[in-house]
Amino acid sequence: MSPSTPPWNFSAGPAALPAEVLAQAQQELTDWRGTGVSVMEVSHRGADFMAMAEEAEQDLRALLPVPASHAVLFLQGGATQHFAQLAMNLAAPGERADYVLTGHWSQKAAREAGHHVRVRVAGSSEDRGFRGLPERIEVDPQASYLHFTPNETIHGVEFHAWPDAGAVPLVADMSSDILSRPVDVARFGMIYAGAQKNIGPSGLVLVIIDRELLHRAGQPMADIFRYARHAEQQSMLNTPNTWGWYLAGLTFKWLLRQGGLDAMGERNRAKANALYAAIDASAGFYHNDIDTDARSRMNVPFRLHDPSLDPLFLDEATGAGLMALKGHRAVGGMRASIYNAMPMEGVQALIAFMGDFARRHG
């Protein structure tokens, strides 16, 4: 199987998937495991699907790894639904929760949770335009949990060490950094991630939750929102996103074949280092103004010294087979998202193009 080839897709999400995963899905599309039909067309309670689903969970458990203390759920609703749902599950009426604000997504997580819990800001870098991490994080020992966003997909800010929440459960939105490096899952009360950055198609959400937290009464809510009910039913309380679960399973196997998360972590570090080094060495033609100790390995935002060149840069980049480099409208400029599926070769192609563009327009 050949590696990925151009166009190199730098989309922030939904993002590129490994070429091998797509090729396997294509090959199996009309005849999955000799059934003569696709994986989308069989019962989620049938033996074939149940076996695949269990294998996907076991592969994920082996990858991260996930300890037995934590349940793995394959849910729906996007990370955004879980901004609210986690508050409903983890906090009783009137209780407080602590939030660390480091950019767009953590702000949104706090806002949505605020409909269900009394949100307190435990630390924020908003006063510095989210160009780094908060100087201090002060956790309320009475808080139901401490929520943070390890990687801010839009602002390009990443925690390289986890906040210390003491006995307060740590809750992390890992939508854009899950599986990009090893994680000590036991340190977390809950990890959740929308699939469309680093796992599979949108519509699937992974929730990894300490079983202790499943005993919390939370708030009055319908069964469909209760993590404990989903855990009791192995994520089959209702029909799961079967296609998403299947593709996630293929991606987990691909990651195991790559050597697991230690290998991916090294690769991702090397990719990001190469790109930041090129930006920093461009004598100001390009720049990234995030504190160097908080720069994201997954999403690299950068600006051109002259924003009037932006449309030409994007046009020529597309012509050179470099897709989706336009920055998020909230911050402007450019953004290269370099998740697991982006090989070093794609990053090198971007660096070569940026160098050439700077020589011709510098």
Ligand X SMILES: *Cc1c(COP(=O)(O)O)cnc(C)c1O
Catalytic positions are 105, 173, 197
> What Rg value do the Cα atoms of the chain yield, rounded?
21
Q: Which of 13, 123, 169, 346 is the binder for ligand X (CB under 6 A)? A: 13
Nearest residue to ligand X by CB is: 78
**Would you say 113 or 349 has its CB closer to ligand X?**
113
Q: Does 85 bind ligand X (CB under 6 A)?
A: no
Does position 194 interact with ligand X (CB under 6 A)? The reply is: yes
> C-beta of 157: minimal distance to ligand X in Å?
11
Distance of CA 320 to the CA centre of its chain: 27
Residue 290 in tokens: 């995030």
Asked if 189 is part of the footprint of ligand X (rule: CB under 6 A), the reply reads no
Torsion angle (degrees, nearest 10) of CA 129, 131, 135, 139 = 70
Nearest distance in Å: CB 244, ligand X: 11
Any contact of residue 99 with ligand X (CB under 6 A)? no
- Residue 191 or 264: the one with the smaller Cβ distance to ligand X is 191
Would you say 194 or 327 has its CB closer to ligand X?
A: 194
Considering only 197, 216, 303, 335, the residue that binds ligand X (CB under 6 A) is 197
Burial class (CB in 10 A: 0-12, 13-18, 19+), 46: exposed
Q: In this structure, are strands 96-101 and 118-124 parallel, antiparallel, or unpaired?
A: parallel
Residue 98 as a binder of ligand X (CB under 6 A): the answer is no
As measured in angstroms, the least distance from the Cβ of 153 to ligand X is 3
- The strands making up 286-287's β-sheet, listed across from edge to edge, are 286-287, 299-304, 334-337
Q: In the numeric block, which tokens belong to residue 193?
A: 């991630």
Which residue's CB is nearer to ligand X, number 105 or number 254? 105
Dihedral, CA of residue 289, residue 293, residue 295 and residue 296, to nearest 10: -170
**Per-residue buried b or exposed e for 149-164, using 16+ beta carbons within 10 Å of the residue's own CB:** bbbbbbbbbbbeeebe
Q: The tokens of 263 are what? A: 């290998």
117-156 positions binding ligand X, by CB under 6 A: 149, 153
Residue closer to ligand X by CB (options 156, 194) is 194
Judged by CB under 6 A, the residue of 57, 59, 112, 173 near ligand X is 173
Cα 87 off chain centre by: 19
DSSP state of 124: E
Of 54-62, 194-202, 309-317, 345-353, the window that binds ligand X (rule: CB under 6 A) is: 194-202
Q: Does 76 bind ligand X (CB under 6 A)?
A: no
Binding site for ligand X (CB under 6 A): 13, 78-80, 105, 149, 153, 173, 175-176, 194, 197, 202
